[in-house]
Structure 1
């Protein structure tokens, strides 16, 4: 394996790692040699995800956690370091969306999305950064943003606000943690085909509209995120920090 992208002996914590793009990107890190710690609220999903990854020869342990709960987040970090001894990579992925027009969105919808996507990301990032500083070996933090942190789209009030916040947190953390050898970047996917988005993308008009926004004229596949996440987790990105890498078929460049 080309050593620049080799993650052997690295431990990667993936929040929201039991399904969707979190599972896909976690699997990519595992295939590159990382030992995985996947975290999610759903116990059954975690069990199934861990079984599937182990069948592929990936070393993985699962941890149940609600990222919006500070005590659970702290326990997660302690459990992962207790099991593996360290955390070298954080894929800060757990998130959700509620799609409603501005005049229909309820206060509780806003609170739920912002609490998960922004507060949860902050709590995990803070706890892992403290652990990485204690380890004195640096690390890589990869926040999961979205093209909606950059472009506008209807019915995305709370989600777009949260992802814009993720982008700014990424830049601030990169500045603060650089002297500790901790690199902080974000991945901003466009629409990616997953079991979770399959139903939403099945609407022909919606699908065609999304495809028309891209230069490559297609919706992304989970595998399209493999290279970017391994790059940001590995030594190949050792002069890259504070950046949002859009994996979007050219959408944000138009």
Structure 2
């Protein structure tokens, strides 16, 4: 029988290098903090130098290991060069993303490009860059694609966002099949509406907030703390036999 000590040790990330994109604030920052507290050497990536350096200073001030990487993931070549210049990572949280909710009749080509370029194109090529380093280094790593409950259902005013996240779910499964033979696991996390800076303007509208909560069977919005445990689980040996799957953290939204 496995002892309690062994079970807890499976969640420890000491000695592992992690990269989190979109780590300047919100969910990315919370996940980066959690991975660092679990013992990982975390590289926080975002295009905002001020946010990243401030975040790293705070983490290092707590005795944790955090390093900044100022890079815009939509600049695929620059991001690829930046990753290639660093030692290979054991954990990659592919988190950078955006949304522009509106009816399809109002969606512009610029809206489409902004959402798809960040949520899908950049995520695919970021995973390519990081997984190449893992494979070349013989690392049996973990890639975590940040998806959404909207990668499993549909919703009004979210046609482009849903399209991007359904694509991420398919990409996750296909990449898991491709990288499985070299021991690299690929999974996704699908949160419901989480209170973050990105969702704040939308959630401040009382009618919309009530409508959203009415669809969450547990009767509340998600918090950052609801998601970080899933990231630690997928990053760690506790999920060593899990790949090509999605952890949907939606309070029951997709249950029906």
The TM-score by the shorter chain falls in which range?
over 0.9
1:71 shift after superposition: 1.6
Q: What is the distance in 1 between the residues matched to 2:160 and 2:25?
A: 22
- 1:57 & 1:219 partners in 2: Cα distance? 32
Contact 2:140/2:182 (<8 A) preserved: yes
Q: Deviation digits for residues 197-245 of structure 1, max 9, x if unmatched?
A: 2232111111111111111100011001121110000000011100011
Q: Is the 8 A contact 1:20 1:194 kept in 2?
A: yes
Contact 2:84 2:129 in 1 (8 A): no
1:217 alignment counterpart: 219
Match of 1:72 among 60, 78, 98: 78
Deviating 4+ runs (over 4 angstroms)? none
Indicate whether 1:133 and 2:135 are aligned: yes
Q: CA RMSD in A?
A: 1.2
Instruction: Name which of structure 1's ranges 125-134 and 62-71 shifts more when overlaid on structure 2.
Output: 62-71
Structure 2 CA distance for aligned equivalents of residues 74 and 197 of structure 1: 29
Q: Give the equivalent residue in structure 2 for 1:54.
A: 60
Structure 1: segments with no counterpart, 5+ residues: none
Q: Is the 8 A contact 2:14 2:39 kept in 1?
A: yes
Match of 2:172 among 170, 174, 178: 170
TM-score by length of 2: 0.94
Match of 2:105 among 103, 106, 113: 103
Classify the secondary structure of the residue corresponding to 1:80.
Answer: coil
- Alignment of structure 1 residues 8-23 onto 2, 5 Å: 8-23=14-29
Contact 1:68–1:123, Cα closer than 8 Å, also in 2:
no
TM-score (norm 1): 0.95
- Do the aligned partners of 1:37 and 1:80 also contact (CA within 8 Å) in 2? no
**Structure 1 residue 88: Cα displacement:** 0.2
Distance 2:195 2:114 in 1: 24
Aligned pair count reads: 250
